[in-house]
């Protein structure tokens, strides 16, 4: 679905303040996968988000979406139809002052007939549970609700891949949970490929595969077992999910806990066994 081969990205190349954000990253994402990209601030993970749909082009190497190279301008429209990106700040993603108009922005750009746009808007708002606000304004909504509108705006384009670039970072815990529920449902039920860029390990723990970024390079990747590699996680400037930390401390104290523990439910199960 998505293929990055040896991607390097340098900000302000050639200038005095040149800064290498990515120093040769290769990774691929399969259809229907839920991948979490984790890393410390400045590890290059947000640069990746912009590379995925051709907002920026790699200094070296190539990014391919279903075989289409993002470096070819002719592909960009189709690539952006395939890869939808939700950014960090919901306020900076809205173009209209009425929710349905904002969600309609994407399908309008695709040039769809008006009846189909309206259907897609309804479907997208239902998918994120915001259909009751269709004719309202986004200004009075909570952060979590606004971000769900932003997700609906991307969904209405019906992309195959949804990239979330720190989309929960500005939200309170309730808002984060709302958004994560929507995302996991889209992945499980609609088989949407999800790439979640985050530094909340609790969120990363929901993914099928976790890619750890450090200083513009992939430091490691794997399933949930990656959380037992404490050195890797900590060297990337990250913290283990709370449940994993509790399990680790309990093991240190001599309690016998089997399996990889990353989610609170798993910890409860293991302790009550």
Task: Give the separation between CA 55 and CA 162, rounded to whole angstroms.
Answer: 15
Using the minimum distance from each CB to another protein, give the nearer residue, 74 or 273: 74
Residue selected from 29, 37, 121, 130 as contacting another protein according to rule CB under 8 A: 121
Residue 139 binds another protein (CB under 8 A): yes
CA distance 107 to 165: 21
Compute the Cα dihedral for 208, 155, 79, 163 and give only its sign.
negative
Tokens of 94: 């809205």
Tell me the per-residue interface mask from 31 to 60 with another protein, x by CB under 8 A, - otherwise. -------------------x--x-x-----
Residues 67-106 as x/- pattern, contact with another protein by CB under 8 A:
----------x--xx--xx-x-x-xxxxxxxx-xx--xxx
Q: Between the CA of residue 253 and those of 45, 227, 250, what are the distances in Å?
A: 36, 19, 5
d(CA 66, CA 109): 21
List Cβ neighbours of 172 (8 Å cut-off, separation of 6 or more): 142, 143, 144
Nearer to another protein, 105 or 123 (CB): 105
Q: Which of 117, 125, 182, 247 binds another protein (CB under 8 A)?
A: 117
Does the protein bind another protein through residue 263 (CB under 8 A)?
no
Under rule CB under 8 A, how many of the chain's residues touch another protein? 40
Do residues 204 and 38 touch, judged by C-beta distance below 8 A?
A: yes
Instruction: Note the residues at the interface with another protein (CB under 8 A).
Output: 50, 53, 55, 77, 80-81, 84-85, 87, 89, 91-98, 100-101, 104-114, 117-118, 121, 137, 139, 150, 153-154, 157
């Amino acid at each position: 679905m998505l293929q990055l081969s040896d991607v390097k990205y340098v900000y302000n190349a050639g200038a005095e303040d040149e800064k290498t954000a990515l120093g040769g990253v290769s990774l691929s994402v399969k259809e229907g996968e839920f991948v979490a990209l984790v890393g410390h601030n400045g590890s290059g993970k947000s640069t990746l988000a912009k590379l995925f749909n051709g907002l920026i082009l790699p200094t070296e190497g190539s990014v391919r979406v279903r075989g289409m190279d993002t470096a070819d301008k002719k592909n960009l429209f189709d690539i952006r139809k395939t890869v939808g990106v939700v950014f960090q700040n919901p306020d900076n993603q809205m173009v209209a002052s009425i929710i349905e108009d904002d969600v309609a922005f994407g399908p309008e750009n695709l040039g769809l007939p008006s009846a189909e746009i309206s259907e897609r808007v309804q479907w997208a708002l239902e998918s994120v549970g915001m259909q009751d606000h269709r004719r309202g304004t986004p200004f009075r909504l909570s952060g979590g609700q606004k971000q769900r509108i932003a997700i609906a705006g991307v969904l209405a384009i019906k992309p195959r891949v949804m990239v979330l670039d720190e989309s929960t970072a500005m939200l309170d815990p309730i808002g984060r949970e709302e958004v994560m529920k929507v995302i996991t449902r889209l992945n499980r039920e609609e088989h949407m490929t999800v790439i979640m860029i985050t530094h909340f390990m609790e969120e990363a723990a929901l993914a099928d595969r976790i890619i750890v970024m450090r200083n513009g390079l992939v430091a490691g990747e794997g399933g949930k077992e990656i959380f037992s590699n404490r050195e890797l996680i900590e060297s990337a400037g990250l913290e283990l999910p709370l449940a994993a930390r509790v399990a680790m401390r309990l093991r240190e104290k001599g309690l016998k806990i089997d399996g990889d523990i990353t989610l609170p439910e798993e910890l409860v199960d293991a302790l009550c066994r």
